[in-house]
Amino acid sequence: MVRLFIFLVVVLALGWGFSWLADRPGLISITWQDHLIETSLMVAATAMVALVGAAMLLWWIVGVIWTSPYSVRRYFRARKRDRGYQALSTGLIAAGAGNALLARKMSLRTRGLISADQEPLIHLLEAQAALIEGKHDEARKKFEQMAEDPETRELGLRGLYMEARRLGANEAARQYAEKAVEHAPYLPWAAQATLESRSQSGRWDDAIRLLDQQRMANILEKPQAERWKAVLLTAKANDRLEGDPKGARDDAMAALKLARDLVPAAVIAAKAWLREDNVRKAASTLEGVWKLGPHPEIARAYIRARSGDSTVDRLKRAEKLEAMRPNNVESLLAVAQAALDAQEFKKARAKAEAAARMEAREAVYLLLADIEEAETGDQGRVRHWMAQALRAPRDPAWVADGFVSEKWLPLSPVTGRLDAFEWKAPFDQLEGPVEEGSLAADTAIASLPPVSAVNAEPRAEPRAEPRAEEAPKPILFPVKPAPQEVKPPQKELAVAAKTPTPANVTPKDGKPPENEGEPVPFFGRPPDDPGVKDPDAAQPATRLRLF
């Protein structure tokens, strides 16, 4: 573009010059060795320009002839280089596709066409070909040669790092990653590996410093960098909680500023505030995170903030949490547990049943079993809730890479990944159709009578048949039959003839039971207690399996 502009300027200047001379005619006289030469100014200017052009053309011809041997050599050298680069490109593609034979062939051809000192990618092709062929020792030697060259140092360290990880040499991999970070802190893989290694060794300050460097180099996005920094600050605060509560509090509060919903940071900050006897600050910190997302660890720390509180005071604190986030399962469970500790069974039962209707899971039914045990001691109802807990989905927990932990950890113990733990259910329970004769959990909750109906007319509780895709459930509280009641193996233990048949069970012969229209309350004696058998009574058509 610049050359074109200069050419146009020169052409315009020549045209303007000739135009100026044409407007101002004149004669030029030259006397040389008794010869007089006269010509017009325009002809003289034209001759001068032609003479300069002819000189330039002659100079170019002489230059071409003089440099022709070098030009010929350069032509053949360029052609050879192009063939070498074509072979190098084909070899890299073959290595990426896993074609070891073609990759090795192109590597040898490239070596003959291009010098390895001029093109470092030849080392990469040879290393990749060796890896495909399973010659890892040869590949490591190539990566070591590349690590010594400033142009290919990062590529060689990357290859050595991957080889060390493959062999399980974590310490060597860490050293390669740290060496790469020293020369190129902007490399994502090296920075990530170094960050994880420093975190695993508990060097939180070094990890935070490296994370800040990555953020300044724009390797990480701002939200991701702030989240990881909050996790590192929380881990540092957890280590300093016992020896330096004030420092742990500052780190935890700084983590909460970066990630407001980080539950472990809030719990650690609250514990640090409580170590300083500042209950108000601890409660304020926990309340802020609770409003964003209720969590059982927040509830436990908040309810038991003061060790000298009575159970009634703890119930009031639980109700305060519920007022902040009403119609929430965690709020209802916190109030139900606090009410159970305070022996307020009616409130505990109401909150637990509301939680079961909202989200039926294992902890809800176990809490209902505890309430039943503490209030009535009815083992039949206790077993019923425990059976429902066995079938209910599991409670959320700290899960990372399939590993379930009782407490939050900054790193995954499986892969070493930072901020890997999530609060979720360990696995999803398989959903299946409810079989005929089984009692669904929501039906059991909806049909619960008041506590005063415990002494009403008894009835046998229908037992839920195990689903085909579920594993056999363990038998809870087995009842050993008396020696005189032992039956042959082919017969099943039947309930007494006077025991009414539940409405949701259909007899095998299709005939309705005799007392089908008789209303029977849900609760009575334990569902696995057959009662006293009348030998003179006729056997009913329906037989219910106890287990």
pLDDT confidence of residue 538: 52
> What's the pLDDT tens digit per position in 336-371?
999 999 999 999 999 999 999 999 899 999 999 999
Per-domain residue ranges of the chain: 9-30+37-78, 87-424, 430-500+520-547
Average pLDDT of span 502-509: 42
Q: Which whole-number Å values give the CA distances from 291 to 234, 263, 393, in the listed order?
A: 20, 12, 25
Q: Among 147-161, 183-197, 416-430, 490-504, whose mean pLDDT is lowest? A: 490-504
Find all residues with CB under 8 Å of 26, minimum gap 6, and list them: 40, 41
More confident residue, 506 or 81: 81
- At 499, is the pLDDT very low, low, confident or very high (cuts 50, 70, 90)? very low
Average pLDDT of span 56-63: 91
Find all residues with CB under 8 Å of 369, minimum gap 6, and list them: 382, 385, 386, 389
- At 423, is the pLDDT very low, low, confident or very high (cuts 50, 70, 90)? very high
Query: Would you say how long the chain is, in residues?
Result: 547
Q: Among 142-151, 291-300, 423-432, whose mean pLDDT is lowest? A: 423-432
- Distance of alpha carbon 9 from alpha carbon 6, whole angstroms: 5
pLDDT confidence of residue 335: 95
With H, G, I as helix, E, B as strand and everything else as coil, classify residue 38: strand
pLDDT higher than threshold 80 for residue 84 = yes
Q: What values do phi and psi take at 230, rounded to 5? A: -65, -40
- At 197, is the pLDDT very low, low, confident or very high (cuts 50, 70, 90)? confident
Q: Which whole-number Å values give the CA distances from 24 to 15, 28, 39, in the listed order?
A: 15, 13, 14
pTM of the entire predicted model: 0.61
> What's the pLDDT tens digit per position in 158-180?
999 989 888 888 888 888 888 88
Q: 87 near 125, Cβ under 8 Å?
A: no
CATH fold of 87-424 reads 1.25.40
pLDDT confidence of residue 351: 94
Q: 269 near 252, Cβ under 8 Å?
A: yes
In the chain, the percentage of residues whose pLDDT exceeds 70 is 78
> What's the pLDDT tens digit per position in 99-114?
888 988 888 888 888 8
More confident residue, 268 or 496: 268
pLDDT confidence of residue 535: 52
pLDDT higher than threshold 80 for residue 238 = yes
pLDDT higher than threshold 50 for residue 196 = yes
Burial class from Cβ neighbours inside 10 Å (0-12, 13-18, 19+) for residue 262 reads buried
> What's the pLDDT tens digit per position in 16-29?
887 887 777 778 78
Half-sphere exposure of 430 (CA within 13 A, CB side): 8
Q: What is the DSSP letter of 530?
A: -
Q: Which residues of 289-306 are buried (b: 16+ CB within 10 A; e: fewer)?
A: bbeeebbbbbbebbbebe
pLDDT confidence of residue 397: 93
With H, G, I as helix, E, B as strand and everything else as coil, classify residue 63: helix
Q: What is the DSSP string of 93-146?
A: HHHHHT-HHHHHHHHHHHHHHS-TTT-THHHHHHHHHHHHTT-HHHHHHHHHHH
Q: Which whole-number Å values give the CA distances from 423 to 294, 297, 364, 396, 400, in the listed order?
A: 12, 11, 18, 6, 9
Strand pairing category for 27-31 and 36-40: antiparallel
pLDDT confidence of residue 320: 93
Q: What values do phi and psi take at 270, rounded to 5? A: -65, -40
Q: CA 439: distance to chain centroid?
A: 38
pLDDT confidence of residue 536: 57
> What's the pLDDT tens digit per position in 510-524?
444 444 444 433 333
